[in-house]
Chains A and B, each alone.
Chain A
């Protein structure tokens, strides 16, 4: 499903990844551990398509596609999900609005019909229940004023709504609940 071969990357002049190899098959869970600054976040960010990292060598193949050649949104449509270590706040944009826009953007590109308001609400309520989260979350602005735990819970809720295939989760501390 995901094959990373001899991946080298740098930020500016500083090399960070020096020959990463990783093979992930469908259904597998991998934990990447290492001391601070060893490149865990860098790897995640590169998979999601952040452009401040320069890949100097190696390849990333995801479901027969050259992942590195795709735009971040194209990766999302194909099922790549990056959870942010420090979720970004977007003032004035409610969670429910972002969720719906994103779910439908992904659905459209997978050739599925967009969810109507009612269908979408049903889906979200179900996912919130799994995470034991209150519906009031939906009407708060994206990550604004969320506690660390709430941000984490929200990540999982989002991830599940998208039903993404490849999930790269940074510090997913709520995994245990």
Chain B
């Protein structure tokens, strides 16, 4: 997220027509493990690069299934949104 005035709000909403269906909805946000970041930094990567690598790796399974132009955009977007997101 860009700037200090913004926030993310998630409103789970699921519409189901099938009375016998069982389903769950989950959205979580999490921070990247300090151990992973530290590990990559001791290998010479800046905090920024390290963060990018961990998150892109984490999202790769999904990215691989996206159409090409979508995947490229998603990756670029991640690059922007991650700046300063460490804490």
Measured CB to CB, the closest approach of chain A to B33, in angstroms, equals: 8
Q: Given A50-B38, A72-B38, check contact A92 B56 (CB 8 Å).
A: yes
Chain B residues touching A, majority SS: helix
Interface readout for A77-110 with B: 1 if CB under 8 Å, 0 if not? Answer: 1001110100110111100011001100110010
Roughly how many angstroms separate A106 CA and B59 CA in the complex, as a whole number?
A: 26
Are A90 and B44 touching (Cβ within 8 A)?
no
How many interface contacts (CB-CB < 8 Å) are there between A and B?
70
**B58 interface neighbour in A49, A50, A92, A97, Cβ under 8 Å:** A92
- A127-162 interface mask toward B, CB cutoff 8 Å, 1 = contact, 0 = none? 000000000000001000000000000000010001
Tell me if A109 and B44 are in contact (CB < 8 A): yes
Given A48-B42, A71-B41, A82-B42, A141 and B36 touching (CB < 8 A)? no
Q: Do B49 and A101 touch (CB < 8 A)?
A: yes
Nearest-neighbor residue (CB-CB) of B55 within chain A: A92
Q: Is the CB of B39 within 8 A of A88?
A: yes
Closest B residue to A109 by CB, please name it.
Answer: B44
Q: Is A76 an interface residue (CB 8 A)?
A: yes
Is B71 on the interface with A (CB-CB < 8 A)? no
- Cβ of B81 under 8 Å from chain A: no
Residues of B contacting A73 with CB < 8 Å? 41-42, 44-47
Which residues of chain A are within 8 angstroms of B46 by Cβ–Cβ distance?
73, 105
Q: A residues within 8 A CB of B38? A: 49-50, 72
Name the interface size band of chain A: 20 to 34
Of all chain B residues, the one with the shortest Cβ separation from A92 is B57
A102 and B35 contacting across the interface, CB-CB below 8 Å: no
Using a CB-CB cutoff of 8 Å, which residues 50-83 of chain B contact chain A? 53-54, 56-61
16 contacts between A and B (CB under 8 A): A49-B38, A72-B41, A73-B47, A76-B42, A76-B43, A77-B44, A82-B42, A84-B39, A88-B36, A88-B39, A90-B54, A90-B57, A91-B58, A101-B49, A105-B44, A158-B43
Known: A88-B33, A102-B43, A158-B43; 14 extra A-B contacts, CB below 8 A, are A48-B42, A71-B41, A72-B41, A73-B42, A73-B44, A73-B45, A73-B46, A76-B43, A76-B44, A88-B39, A90-B57, A92-B60, A98-B40, A162-B44
6 nearest CB pairs, A to B: A92-B57, A93-B57, A76-B44, A105-B44, A72-B41, A102-B43
